[in-house]
Amino acid sequence: MDTPKPTGTYAVGTCTFTAQGERKVSARVYYPVRREAIAGREPARYMSRAMTEALQGTFHVPMKYDRMEAKGENVSACYPDAPRIEGTAFPLVVFCHGLSSYREANSFLCIEMASHGYVVLALGFREISVLTEYDDGTAVPFDRTLSKRMYDPFLGGVIQLMKLMKAKGSDREMAERFDRFQKQYCKALIRKVADCEQDVLDAVAYARDHLSDLIDFSMGIAVAGHSLGGVTAYALCLDHSEFICGINIDGAPFGDHAGKVLERPFLQICCTDNERVETRFLIDHTSPVWKAVFRDMKHAGFCDLKYLIPMKAVTGKMPENVMHENECRCFLEFLDAYLKKEKSQPDFVSSEWVTFTAYEPDLGGRME
């Protein structure tokens, strides 16, 4: 498995914790360390045997744990409990995985951010992850009943969603159509967004109490995620002022957002398949909003699975290294502007692979 290496100034340390709030929240921290601090240290294991088995059962592809171990491929480009840089705190990015995904699903992206001077808090959501692993050795599997409850009734919901993906209309018209759809068919997913939102708040509270020497909370917090995790990022930016900017990777706008206006910078990343059902993020906002459309991509390809499951029908035709480089560039440009505030706005430049669009503030009839 030829996985990407971090390109930033720093090496990357990692640790985990479990926060106890309304639910137990599993968290992995990626943080910047000096390069000399990792000398002689063994890199972190990428995934446990139990996680490979859970992924194999979910995606129905071979995940050979013993072969990965024997070939030295089950490693991650970060180092457990590497010494922190004394007297230096970094801005925080919270990353949320999607439905039937896992805590380390975007580890390549998280490690890249950490190597450029960010602390990244990647969360594992109970019963939403294919497997949620805790520091005490316990684990909670994916709630498989949720797959059937995603749409209720299931067949009717799937048919209506497919129609929406092909429909035409203005951004506002499409957003209103999606909102009517989700209120009719997706009550379980709306509730799950609220659960994930609370889990993030509990994990951040833990970090404030235990990682204040590592994280500079005075800068505010950025929040991002893939799929349902990206929608959670959007909800947090709508509802809580400590989250000062957000990024959603290809998540449709499930959740109760009626009457709300986005007052923080936001980046919507999507593939062409899902572009028409992800317009809610482009309306009802007073701060800069950007959209990045990735060509030849599929929804599942926006995470590490692009490398782990090289099936173009599942992850898209865009080469994995091209996807990773462009995704990382999107994140770093956006975060450098709106979290570190090193520039007035991101330097987004369209290419043959990614097209960027900037959206002016829009309050042309708030959605109810």
Residue 366 has pLDDT above 70, yes or no: no
Residue 151 has pLDDT above 80, yes or no: yes
Residue 146 has pLDDT above 90, yes or no: no
Report the C-alpha gap between 350 and 290 in whole angstroms: 12
Query: What is the rounded average pLDDT of the residues 235-263?
Result: 96
Using alpha carbons, list the distances in angstroms from residue 223 to 147, 185, 232: 26, 27, 9
Mean pLDDT, rounded, of the chain: 95
Q: Is 244 in contact with 267 (CB distance < 8 Å)?
A: no
* Each residue's pLDDT tens digit, 293-349: 999 999 999 999 999 887 899 999 999 999 999 999 999 999 999 999 999 999 999
Query: What is the rounded average pLDDT of the residues 166-190?
Result: 94
pLDDT for 62:
81
Report the C-alpha gap between 190 and 126 in whole angstroms: 16
- CATH class for the domain made up of 11-359: alpha beta
pLDDT for 364:
64
The per-residue DSSP string of 20-58 comes to ESSSEEEEEEEEEE-GGGGTTPPPPBS--HHHHHHHHHH
* Each residue's pLDDT tens digit, 43-102: 999 999 999 999 988 888 788 899 999 999 999 999 999 999 999 999 999 999 999 999
pLDDT for 58:
84
Other Cβ atoms closer than 10 A to 239: 14
pLDDT for 279:
96
Report the C-alpha gap between 264 and 339 in whole angstroms: 11
**Domains in the chain: boundaries:** 11-359
Closest CA to 326 of 80, 112, 164: 112
- Out of 16-25, 115-124, 145-154, 162-171, the most confident range is 115-124
Three-state DSSP state, 247: strand
Q: What is the pTM of this model?
A: 0.96
Three-state DSSP state, 315: helix
Residue 214 has pLDDT above 80, yes or no: yes
Please report which confidence band the pLDDT of residue 148 belongs to, taking 50, 70 and 90 as the band edges.
Answer: confident
Give percent of the chain with pLDDT exceeding 90: 88
* Crossing angle for the helix pair 171-185 and 154-166, to the nearest 10 degrees: 180
